[in-house]
Chains A and B, each alone.
Chain A
């Protein structure tokens, strides 16, 4: 496992892991219960999760600025503690601020703001995703965009009409 890749790799990271917000928050809560830091390999064993799966959750938490991964460890960032200390509503506000800085969410928002009727179809977002992450399956990231976006109330998504809309 190359744990230094996050520092050496300068390419922007756009792929979104298929991980729910509750799982990410659970990881941070678990780490805080252990004093804020744990060896990744040990953590996977303790959770009886596959290492790959554990890494995916950690990566998701890292994208949101909640943890970082020095060496083979995972450590809670001050921002992570702040989120967990907050009420349910405060948590959503803090996560929203982070998501607004992620390219995929930024472009969906801008997309929505530009449209006259403030509605964007699923197809349009998938196209945008294919542009941002050409080598990945856009469908995988799609459900995560919908879920995180909904959690942070960045935008709404109607599955019946398959359209995004701004929650005004």
Chain B
């Protein structure tokens, strides 16, 4: 393969010490994400999907094994990575603008430069007009746009998403999934590599180039499936349904 791996896990295991003893959450995980890839991680709850994202961004460290970012051993937080959370992670006392600006403050000292970047991403995710609004005034869909704009504003090389659509209603998530694909395929963006956790198999097939399937605890990779379908993908297509069956059979 010609393209470089942006991030790579080599034999990564994660164990937690609980009162009832040591629990292995992830067991010998190895995979690479290539520049420009959209990968989804699926697996039963308790498979360690969220832990895996936290290891990738450096919020947690492997109990054994290594993580390489652009070929270098990763220690500590990865500044070129950002994360979108299921429950948006917005600060209720800050406006939309201020919430997006938050992640930029440690990186960019000049406040007018910060504002300019914030405005760019506000417009990219369709939040113009909401700049002064507070999270409580926003629908779930608009809240997650703020979460997305905040993650994009730091101009990461790798975007991680932890079930970003699962607390939204069905119709809102359809809309946001489509807009996310637009953003991902927009080559003006710095970020074109995404790793997303989902428990929704159809969502994984609709969006990603590759699905990594994890088993129940301890989480191990039981499948790595390339989705070779043109976009936009339709759930009713025969091939789509075949992929659903394939992923299901790995989870069952």
**Residue among B134, B138, B170, B182 making CB contact with A26, cutoff 8 Å:** B170
B contact residues around A22 at 8 Å (CB): 139-142, 145, 168, 171-172, 175-176
Q: Mark B110-148, 1 if CB is under 8 A from A, else 0.
A: 000000000000011110111011100111111001000
Chain B nearest Cβ from A166, distance in angstroms: 12
In the complex formed, the residue of B with least CB distance to A88 is B126
How far, in Å, is A2 (CB) from chain B's closest CB?
24
Q: How would residues 154 to 168 of chain A score, 1 for a CB under 8 Å from any chain B CB and 0 otherwise?
A: 001111000000010
Chain B: interface residue total (CB-CB under 8 A): 32
B129 touches A151 (CB 8 A): yes
CB of A150, distance to nearest CB on chain B (Å): 4
Bound form: Cα–Cα A61–B53 in Å: 37
Q: Is A100 an interface residue (CB 8 A)?
A: no
In the complex, B246 has a CB within 8 A of chain A: no
Q: Which residues of B are found within 8 Å of A27, using beta-carbon distances?
A: 171, 174
Nearest CB on A from B149, distance (A): 11
Q: Report which of B125, B169, B234, B235 forms a contact with A88, defined as CB distance below 8 A.
A: B125
Asked if B224 is at the interface of the complex by the 8 Å CB criterion, the answer is no
Return B46 CB to nearest CB of chain A, in Å.
Answer: 25
Is there a chain B Cβ closer than 8 Å to A118's Cβ?
no
Contact A26 B173 (CB under 8 A): yes
Instruction: For B128, give its contact among A24, A49, A87, A153 (CB under 8 Å).
Output: A153
Do A92 and B128 touch across chains, with their CB atoms under 8 A apart?
yes
| B182 A88 Cβ-Cβ under 8 A | yes
B179 at the interface (CB under 8 A from A): yes
Whether A88 and B124, one on each chain, are in contact in the complex, defined by CB atoms closer than 8 angstroms, is yes
Complex contact A20–B142 (CB within 8 A): yes
The residue on A at minimum CB distance from B168 is: A22
Q: What 0/1 pattern do residues 164 to 186 of B give for CB contact below 8 A with A? A: 00001111111110110010000
Q: What is the interface residue range for chain A against chain B? A: 20 to 34
A 121-164 binary contact with B (CB < 8 Å = 1; else 0):
00000000000000000000001001101111100111100000
Does the CB pair B132–A87 fall under 8 Å?
Answer: no
Contact of A23 among B126, B129, B134, B175 (CB under 8 A): B175
Contact (Cβ within 8 A) A20 B141: yes
Select one of B126, B138, B140 contacting A92, CB under 8 A: B126
How far, in angstroms, from A19 to B123 measured CA to CA in the complex? 22
With both beta carbons as reference points, the residue of chain B lying nearest to A89 in the complex is identified as: B123
Residue of B172, B176, B235 contacting most chain A CB atoms (<10 Å): B172
What separation, in Å, do the CA atoms of A151 and B128 have in the docked complex? Answer: 7
- The CA-CA distance from A21 to B124 in the complex, in Å, is 16
Residues of B within 8 A of A91 (CB): 126
- Whether the Cβ atoms of A33 and B234 lie closer than 8 Å is yes
- Residues of A participating in the B interface, judged by any CB pair closer than 8 Å: 20-27, 29-30, 33, 47-49, 57, 87-89, 91-92, 143, 146-147, 149-153, 156-159, 167
Chain B residues in contact with chain A, CB under 8 A? 123-126, 128-130, 132-134, 137-142, 145, 168-176, 178-179, 182, 232, 234-235
